[in-house]
Amino acid sequence: MYREIAVFTGNSHPALATAVCNHLEIALGQAEVFQFSNEEIFVRYLENIRERDVFLIQPVVSPVNTRLMELLIMIDAAKRASAGRITAVVPYYAYGRSDKKDQPRVPVTARLVANFIEVAGADRVLSLDMHAGQIQGFFNIPLDELTAFPLVADYFHKLNLPTPVVVAPDVGRAKLAREIAGRIEGEIAIVDKRRTGNNDSAEALTIIGDVADKDCLIMDDEILTGTTVVSAIRLLRSRGARSVRVACVHPVMAAKAFAALDTTDVDELIFTDTLPLVHGEFKTVPTTVLSVASLIGDAIHRIHTGGSVGELFH
């Protein structure tokens, strides 16, 4: 067994790391993580971590490549400081959309990032709702993947809407929509989405399911430009939806997502705090943030004590 838990953060999301530590009733570990004027990153732990169970909380968020390098260098520094075990806690795993060779001469960057994390010296990974299940298999070290979807489903349930319909914004999310609809005793609808090329454009072509006079709840894993959900919202409205709410786990939110969602007829936007909003803020659309801090904190506690992480899903 290892000595006590030590939690550290880079510069991605100190607020989440602090909230996780509050849940665990421990202090956030002290470390320096900064860039020199030549952009090289420097890390130094300011306390003894020898033989401790070290958790490094760092969602890979904009600026993505800098935050990724911070994580890798933090792992390296922890290894060289004789940490007992190092767990990379990556609430948002960037490059997750590059998870297969679905056209000629393209990389599988999600796999490359997994290799980086392993080679840097991580012993385990803890993440949330990765873009695709196969990313788990890109690692040869234990990986626990948590899910925030039950948290969102509970929130939907508490809204107590008269005619809830969980909407998958593309066919890939149909299974998830069915699971959530089951939890809240709602119906499901599926948007047939088309992406053209490798840019961010997406088009909602049609909807399978009845949404007229219904309370629609679009559920996606992440929102980047907002194109997917905005085209789905428009289509739902054109089909007579009574209300439309949008939820996602990871609010990646490029700058244009704020303007797009603020000017679209949406009743509420729900997302978690796996990553901070770094490119702007919403001005008109009502937002609700559900925190994953206690979920991550409970998982860290279970990993440290050898408890079941799977039980958290129930």
Residue reference for tokens 């400081």? 81
Which residue intervals of the chain are DSSP H helices? Answer: 14-24, 64-80, 109-120, 149-159, 174-184, 227-238, 255-262, 293-305
- Is 127 a binding residue for ligand R5P by CB under 6 A? The answer is no
Structure tokens, 270: 């729900």
Within 10 Å of residue 54's Cβ, how many Cβ atoms?
27
Is 96 or 164 the residue whose CB approaches ligand R5P more closely? 96
Residue reference for tokens 């997994």? 114
| Window 14 to 43, contacts with ligand R5P (CB under 6 A) | none
Q: Give the integer Cα–Cα distance in Å for 172 and 267.
A: 24
From 129, 144, 222, 298, residue interacting with ligand R5P (rule: CB under 6 A): 222
**CB of residue 145 to ligand R5P, shortest distance in Å:** 16
Tell me if 196 sits within 8 A of 227, measured CB to CB.
no
**CB of residue 110 to ligand R5P, shortest distance in Å:** 13
Catalytic residue among 100, 193, 256, 283: 193
# of chain residues touching ligand R5P (CB under 6 A): 14
Residue from 274, 211, 203, 209 nearest 245 by CA = 211
From 12, 127, 228, 264, residue interacting with ligand R5P (rule: CB under 6 A): 228
Give the CB-side neighbour count of residue 140, counting CA atoms within 13 A: 6
Within 10 Å of residue 115's Cβ, how many Cβ atoms?
12
**CB of residue 87 to ligand R5P, shortest distance in Å:** 26
- Is 169 a binding residue for ligand R5P by CB under 6 A? The answer is yes
- Is 98 a binding residue for ligand R5P by CB under 6 A? The answer is no
Query: Does residue 193 have an active-site annotation?
Result: yes
Span of 14-22, 40-48, 204-212, 219-227 interacting with ligand R5P by CB under 6 A: 219-227
Q: Give the integer Cα–Cα distance in Å for 312 and 314.
A: 5
**CB of residue 177 to ligand R5P, shortest distance in Å:** 12
Residue partners of 115: CB distance under 8 A and separation at least 6: 138
- Is 172 a binding residue for ligand R5P by CB under 6 A? The answer is yes
- Is 220 a binding residue for ligand R5P by CB under 6 A? The answer is yes
Is 88 or 257 the residue whose CB approaches ligand R5P more closely? 257
Binding site for ligand R5P (CB under 6 A): 169-170, 172, 200, 202, 220-228
Enzyme catalytic residues = 193
